[in-house]
Structure 1
Amino acid sequence: MLDLKLDTFLTLCETRNYTKTANLLNITQPAVTQHIKHLEGYYQTKLLYYDEKRRLHLTEHGKLLRAYAQTVKADSLIIERKLKMPVDQPDELRLGTLTTTGESLVPHMVAEYLKQYPDKKVSMYLGEADALLQQLKTGRIQFCIIDTYCPPHEFESYELFEADTICICSPEHPLAGKTVDFKELNDYRLIFRENDTNSHRNLMQILHTHNQDINNFRSYVEIGTINSVQKMVMENIGISFIYHFVAQKNLENGTLSQIHIRNFSSHAMFNFVWLKDSFFEPVNRQFLDVCKEVLDSSYFPG
């Protein structure tokens, strides 16, 4: 169980407001102030400060303590969950991943992990990067695989692989296998994942980099999952932008084709992430080693 004063500090880090923190924790505002002063006295350093507009900020030492407290809190919740399980139950590994990798690559990693550690059980959670990082902090998961930057004072992050984004279409599409200028794509329907997803944000960045927008296309379809996007493209409903590794199998078996775009390149780094100084680092590294083995195998392109 996390010390109450550290829990108060973590809540204040999120709210940046003493009154809101008091309301959330069901304590008085003077109690919040007392908890913070106690921590500053104990560690003999300033943890927070106000700027000229009375906005609350963390000092560098405050950021360090927050990272420590987040890890302690998350680890303690995982330990609590494990201690409540019968001793003869297999140890559970909880991981998170983006929907993009969760529907394609990560299941192969989980399968290989269970082959090597058959006495384990695995729970996999799919979500967006921000939500997965929050689940790390709350102890719901032990690590995640995402394609976004993670501050090194809060997280341990290891580069897994770099992924290229490509434009895909049906083999029956007029542009299948051809090399075109970006603007030539505008004559066709664009298919993409729904708003408020990493996939959608990546698409918008790609389009804006090439002075494009979804409204430049003939029409578009917005849909829920990456597998649904691929299926609609296979039906020759339109074109889409997708990570190459996600479409690799369908490109190889001929159910999808690639449209090559002149002067186009888009790359993203996928990272393996857990909370800094976590007690569960050795277990996390076991799965990380399995990930590297899978990525070195023939399954993964390039």
Structure 2
Amino acid sequence: MAVSARERLEDLLEKTSRTFALSIPPLPEPTRREVTVAYLLFRIADTLEDATLWSHERKLAELAAFDALLVTPDAEQTRARAASWVEDPPLDHSGYLELLGETPMVVATWSGLSARARELVGTHTRRTIAGMTGFVEQERDGALQLGNVDDLRRYCYMVAGIVGEMLTELFLLDRPELDPIVAELRRDAARFGEALQLVNILKDVASDADEGRSFLPAGVDPAEVFRLARRNLEAAGRYSNRLHQQGAPRGIVEFTLMPVLLAWATLDRIAERGPGAKLTRPEVREILKTMGAALDAGDLGGLGLCAAC
């Protein structure tokens, strides 16, 4: 039986991000399709940036090539580029490599979005590619090492804060009921994304070091980074809560709420047990059950999203 493009996209989600594979499906259409395609485009860019098996120069060349494909999509060039990535892979991750091989389908699906959604996703993906390129240019001996907390904040903005801004604009498309809180959402949009990225960095510090990356600046007290993560999670919780209060579709509230709750629990686990500590699957299920009950009751007050929520 032939697999539809939608089924293939969802399969790629499963193989590249457990969190997004859980949080994207509740989104209403067409937002679900737009966010799925956007995530996969950002993941392609992220894979080219990580590229532990490529030289510094190769990373820069491939990021530039991917950017060019988003400026002027060309099916033949996209197929050729994807084939070269699979033939000479940038890293050892089966899910990411499978996604690279499906770049032509992902780009074609992006090209088929509504004009406004296509513009939003393309523009924000290219902004992130530009930011990633800047950080790759700063690599020393092929390894990314951030020098201070300001560098860390800039990096988190480039790879995740921009994602938060893009998601916000997609949520606002054709939803006039959200107009009264546009300014509030845009204020917290970047910090929504940055919060999740910071927690991932704290969780993966040991494995990143093994691969030659150092996102935690040397000499910086980890407690300072934990405080930054908690402040950003407060903003992310406020973001989700305002969507809920303003009557956003439940799927959008759930999409934003799920990673925030998981990030809070993960951050507490890391603080308790150290880098690499993870939530168990039963713990994740319990968090999602609690979230569902709160959404059913229409009251998020007991979730501890933020001090002012």
**One fold, TM greater than 0.5?**
no
Higher helix fraction: Structure 1 or Structure 2?
2
Higher-strand-fraction structure = 1
- TM-score bracket, normalised by the shorter chain, equals under 0.3
> Which structure has the larger Rg over C-alpha atoms?
1
TM-score using structure 2 length: 0.25
TM-score computed with the length of structure 1 as normaliser: 0.26
